[in-house]
Amino acid sequence: MGLDRRYHRGVSASSKSALEGPDAMTTSPTVQKLAALLNEKFHPSAPPTAQSTPKSLGLDSLDVINFLFSVEEALGVAISDEVIAERKLSSLADFARYIDEQTVAAKG
């Protein structure tokens, strides 16, 4: 039973850092927001890191779709299937980089 029960009971990430370990201090604010979103709404099977992929976190295809809608709602950036394939987005860091680029472009 070595699993961290926090991820299965849905404890809000706001009560603790969304990322733990070395990633907690070295990741962008956007990666941290994505990790918090995952923790709060999807209860991943492992703690999210910048290198985590939806598959490594135990998300199925419906979870991924819901995650993308949640990202758009929370951060104001839509990420289509085409963009994911085109840009080869796979890790939280990849998604965060794309979100940051789109945010800067929208402000520009």
Instruction: For residue range 49-105, list pLDDT tens digits in order.
Output: 999 999 999 999 999 999 999 999 999 999 999 999 999 999 999 999 999 999 999
Model pTM?
Answer: 0.76
DSSP 6-63: HHHHT--GGGS-SS-TTHHHHS-HHHHHHHHHHHHHT--SS---TT--TTTTT--HHH
Structural domain includes residue 96: yes
Q: In the prediction, which pLDDT does 68 show? A: 97
Q: What is the CATH number of the domain that holds 91?
A: 1.10.1200.10
More confident residue, 108 or 88: 88
- Using alpha carbons only, how large is the chain's radius of gyration in Å? 13
Q: In the prediction, which pLDDT does 21 show? A: 52
**Tally of structural domains, the chain:** 1
